[in-house]
Amino acid sequence: MGSIGSPNGDQVDLAEYLFRRLYQLGVRSVQGVPGDYNLVSLDYIKPAGLYLAGNANELNAGYAADGYARVKGISALVTLFGVGELSALNAIGGAFAEKAPVVHIIGTPPTHAQNLGLNLHHSFGDGDFKRFVRVYRESTCAQANLVDPGTAPAEIYEVLRQCLKLSRPAKVSLLGLKGKLGPFDPGMDFRIMHGVIVDILKPDELIRATGYPTYVTPFGKGAMNWVNSCDLVIRFGPLDIDTNTYGFTTLTDRKVIIDIHRYSISIGRGLRQDLNTKDLLRTLLPCSIHPLFTPSSPLQAPIQSAPIDQATFWTRMSKFLRPSDIILTETGTSSSGGQDLILPPQATMINSALWLSIGYTLGATVGVALAQKDLALQNNQPTGRTNLFDGDGSFQMTTRSISVIFGNRLNVIFLINNNGYTIERHIHAVELPGRTRFFGAPTDDPSYPVLAYRATNWGELLLMDTVQVKAGKGFSLVEVVMGQDDAPASLERLVRMAAERNEGLIK
Amino acid sequence: MGSIGSPNGDQVDLAEYLFRRLYQLGVRSVQGVPGDYNLVSLDYIKPAGLYLAGNANELNAGYAADGYARVKGISALVTLFGVGELSALNAIGGAFAEKAPVVHIIGTPPTHAQNLGLNLHHSFGDGDFKRFVRVYRESTCAQANLVDPGTAPAEIYEVLRQCLKLSRPAKVSLLGLKGKLGPFDPGMDFRIMHGVIVDILKPDELIRATGYPTYVTPFGKGAMNWVNSCDLVIRFGPLDIDTNTYGFTTLTDRKVIIDIHRYSISIGRGLRQDLNTKDLLRTLLPCSIHPLFTPSSPLQAPIQSAPIDQATFWTRMSKFLRPSDIILTETGTSSSGGQDLILPPQATMINSALWLSIGYTLGATVGVALAQKDLALQNNQPTGRTNLFDGDGSFQMTTRSISVIFGNRLNVIFLINNNGYTIERHIHAVELPGRTRFFGAPTDDPSYPVLAYRATNWGELLLMDTVQVKAGKGFSLVEVVMGQDDAPASLERLVRMAAERNEGLIK
């Protein structure tokens, strides 16, 4: 820890200190919704080198922060206390369940107003401001109430350290914004914390090196079922929940299991903690790595006039994906079907296997695309594309995120794989020639083309392979019309097993 | 309390029992968002005589339930546990803060799955299902976990009694749906609970009878400022929060105050509890009641080509209102400006003065209009219209509620009083001739006309006084274009005082 620095620098305000620390950890865009108790804190965002991405509402902002954190390793979200933090809670709960390190900064009434128990608006009018603290304790791994400039640096250090180490959301309440902290030391805390930032485990290197046969859970990508007959099962970051194990049917005998977590390894029933498993894997791995899988599409070219079907759509879409792309698949037909996608190198797949909050991926797409944009600027080289596979039922939960995508000129490819009774109207609205477009889609920006089309058969779907979509330039919305009752086989299986479970469990 | 009834009736399932009790208390439409853990419970809604109003997401559904409760005295909301209940939490928090009796029914995993600590989806994957119980304890006045058919009737009775008595949300978790409760007694519990349902205080009768000069807080409607110089101040249901007292400046010396609450009266520093103050007022009031106020508009007719201004808009809009109308005013220019509306007899004003969650009134309008529709059916006579005054910033928080308004053919008059840069696009989308309309607006239903227009000056605004709008038939959206920086004087004052407070308090 230590003090905050050299005697020659200028003093910094508390809020400035926090945002500069976040910048050091890699944050460039902050998700937020303005409100009276956080307006002053927002003034510190730009001077710290950060960009404030305004969102339509707090839930969508929370989802965007989750998406940003999954790409950049950390993210920040600014909301009001009370109304704002409760609106965002489902997104924070999702980040807690699925381990996305979101720093949720909350503008709160000042300390002495809280201590006096004043009946302020955005509270329950009973002077009990601790209610919201108690609520957030259930879905954050660390909490700090920043009041005292003397202790604030240590508190900020600790809350960020926990957030990064546990990879879970942390809450920072800003009560005093302007307390002077003394000069800002750019190197101090950051060096210590940086050691904590560990990339996600990369088991693909081990798989390639050893050639071991591999099973991937739905939370990862892919599904096979011979795992229960194996003599030894090495599991990377296993998550034994119902939806990730086909209703607990793919759980193997603990005796044959080696579980490798981020900071621990368990062998059978033994546990070894406080390890850096990434370093361990590096030591174990041979230097030469050879590719095991060659992505291929064994399917014949489709008949152009034939309807698009779930059974082959996902495998065929594999050819559309490109190296370094990020692919988000929404809970439902997309996340189940997405298990059949054959990913190109360095592709990242983002979905939800535990929290399963419908509407999440559209909100998260905002954060993912912003993170891609920030990475391109930081590294001065293009990144992969942001591709979202969504369904129109989920789409309606967080529709307004489309405005944020347009407002920030985010490059997103958006594929709807349902029967389109809702989305069609959005497409028509977007296409309106010569009129103001819906959701603020720009009409006069040649650098940001907005395309929307609808594919009712394979021939029309192949047309989407245009230069714009290939390049991931601008915004492309593709509605893929499929049968309303058509579903991937894996989803049908999951639903059947859930139904059997409910029948058995609910008496 | 007692047992559940006559020996001759059929046995009822637990969920059926709950929904039939809600029907008895006046609920006819249930707000909800379907999900796997509540799908079975939804099957019991229709057989109980209730209508399930599907919503785009849980926050909007929660707002709708709040609006419904304020009109019908109680409402019901059905969501999933975990993702669903956390998404709705801000609406439930608002209902708790502002005392709307919402029964939040939550479909949860069955008891033995919870007791085993199974890692189920929609949870945090740690087997701790009590997290959500602890979260909801902060914003509900009563909680019940229905498992045991033997105790369920008593638990349902108690949770509904608390909800009605305290006029605050209650949580009912449905773990076992099909436990047989024995025959259903339609009369038993209901009679006891009904005595608890008390109409809101009607101080207008006392004011008319006595002719006492009157001050109304922003949470009510209207504002005057001589209250601090009075010798005696009688206050009805006072709420001493910053936004309701112009930053605590209209608080009077306790020595001269009589506070009349629903179940108590305080005189100076003395307190008398457990009273039925409505009965007390009835006894005190003389029988003949004469009107004190004659609504009038002292303003000259506006110049038709003149821009519409905040200073006179609200007073002029008073002529548009009709007896028994319900008027919702969104937080911001609408709630401040709405203080200048002169209400016709039996009109109801709904706004937010404490929780102030932006986007609330559009969501609540769904519930209010549904409640009006249900009342018209129950009483077989038309009700007043549902009028919403909103701003386009707030509109974007809960936009998808428009789909629910169309889907349920709700009669709503919707007035936007801002500079319209967002709403205009919605209007264009709604107006599209010969194409599918946006948000599912019907194109081929003569009984449900959908109108949208835009008024840029007084002349155009007067045009909206058409037969459709007067009758409150179908859906009318009127965009009122005003200067972006134009604000009601009362809002400017409130903002100035809040700024001074922040300047003084945040150091």
Q: Which residue has the higher pLDDT, B257 or B262?
A: B257
Q: Which of A177, A194, A211 is where one domain is finished?
A: A194
In this structure, the strands spanning B75-80 and B102-107 are parallel
Q: What is the pLDDT of residues A345-390, one digit of tens each?
A: 889 999 998 999 999 999 999 999 999 999 999 999 989 999 999 9
pLDDT for B426: 44
- With an 8 Å Cβ cutoff, are B120 and A435 in contact? no
Handedness of CA A175, A178, A179, A185 (dihedral sign): positive
Counting one residue from A and one from B, how many pairs have CB atoms under 8 Å apart? 202
- With an 8 Å Cβ cutoff, are A354 and B437 in contact? no
Among B36, B40, B63, B121, the residue to mutate for chain A (most A Cβ within 10 A)? B121
Task: Produce one character per residue of B229-260: b if its CB has 16 or more CB atoms within 10 Å, e if not.
Answer: eeeebbbbbbbebbbbbbbeebebeeeebebb
Based on the fold, state whether residues B232 and B104 are members of the same structural domain: no
For residue B5, tell me if it sits in a domain: no
Based on the fold, state whether residues A266 and A185 are members of the same structural domain: no
ipTM here: 0.83
Nearest chain A Cα to B434, which residue? A428
Among A148, A336, A425, A431, the residue to mutate for chain B (most B Cβ within 10 A)? A425
Confidence of residue A396 (pLDDT cuts 50, 70, 90): confident
Poorest-confidence range of A361-370, A411-420, B218-227, B384-393? B218-227
Nearest chain B Cα to A41, which residue? B506
For residue A463, tell me if it sits in a domain: yes
Q: Which residue has the higher pLDDT, B4 or B403?
A: B403
Q: How far apart are CA B134 and CA B323, in angstroms?
A: 44
Q: Number of folded domains in chain A?
A: 3
User: Is B191's pLDDT higher than 90?
Assistant: no
- With an 8 Å Cβ cutoff, are A134 and B139 in contact? no
Chain B contact set for A177 (CB, 8 A) = 506
Confidence of residue B427 (pLDDT cuts 50, 70, 90): very low
For residue B72, tell me if it sits in a domain: yes
pLDDT for B170: 98
For residue B419, tell me if it sits in a domain: yes
Based on the fold, state whether residues B368 and B477 are members of the same structural domain: yes
Tell me the shortest Cα–Cα distance from A85 to chain B, in angstroms. 8
Based on the fold, state whether residues A235 and A112 are members of the same structural domain: no
Could you identify the residue written with the tokens 């079922």? A225
Poorest-confidence range of B168-182, B246-260, B395-409? B246-260
For residue B203, tell me if it sits in a domain: no
User: Is A160's pLDDT higher than 80?
Assistant: yes
pLDDT for B291: 37
> Tokens in use for A430?
């977007």
Q: Which of B249, B284, B319 is where one domain is finished?
A: B284
In B203-352, beta strands by DSSP E? 233-236, 257-260, 265-267, 270-272, 326-329, 348-350
- With an 8 Å Cβ cutoff, are B176 and A506 in contact? yes
Mean pLDDT for A463-476 is 74
- With an 8 Å Cβ cutoff, are B359 and A400 in contact? no
Q: In terms of residue numbers, what domain contains B263? A: 212-284
Tell me the shortest Cα–Cα distance from A429 to chain B, in angstroms. 6
Of A58, A97, A132, the CB nearest to B124: A97
pLDDT for A46: 94
Environment class of B54 (CB within 10 Å of its CB; exposed 0-12, middle 13-18, buried 19+): middle
SS3 for A326? Answer: strand
Mean pLDDT for B223-232 is 61
pLDDT for A194: 40
Q: How far apart are CA A69 and CA B387, in angstroms?
A: 42
Based on the fold, state whether residues B354 and B449 are members of the same structural domain: yes
For residue A500, tell me if it sits in a domain: no
For residue B1, tell me if it sits in a domain: no
Based on the fold, state whether residues B127 and B262 are members of the same structural domain: no
- With an 8 Å Cβ cutoff, are B121 and A241 in contact? yes
- Planar angle of CA A84, A89, A91, nearest 5 degrees: 115
Chain A contact set for B93 (CB, 8 A) = 82-83, 86, 124
Based on the fold, state whether residues A261 and A184 are members of the same structural domain: no
Q: Which of A173, A194, A215 is where one domain is finished?
A: A194
For residue B441, the domain's CATH number is 3.40.50.970
Q: Using a pLDDT cut of 90, give the percent of chain B over it.
A: 30
Mean pLDDT for B18-22 is 93
Based on the fold, state whether residues A207 and A189 are members of the same structural domain: no
Mean pLDDT for A333-350 is 88
For residue B262, the domain's CATH number is 3.40.50.1220
Among B36, B55, B85, B122, the residue to mutate for chain A (most A Cβ within 10 A)? B122
Chain A contact set for B355 (CB, 8 A) = 82-83, 121-122
Based on the fold, state whether residues B42 and B87 are members of the same structural domain: yes
Based on the fold, state whether residues A175 and A225 are members of the same structural domain: no
Q: Which residue has the higher pLDDT, A227 or B58?
A: B58
pLDDT for B440: 67
For residue B104, tell me if it sits in a domain: yes
- With an 8 Å Cβ cutoff, are A121 and B355 in contact? yes
- With an 8 Å Cβ cutoff, are A358 and B83 in contact? yes
Q: What is the pLDDT of residues A107-147, one digit of tens each?
A: 998 888 888 888 888 999 888 989 999 999 999 999 999 88
Based on the fold, state whether residues A82 and A16 are members of the same structural domain: yes
Based on the fold, state whether residues B353 and B445 are members of the same structural domain: yes
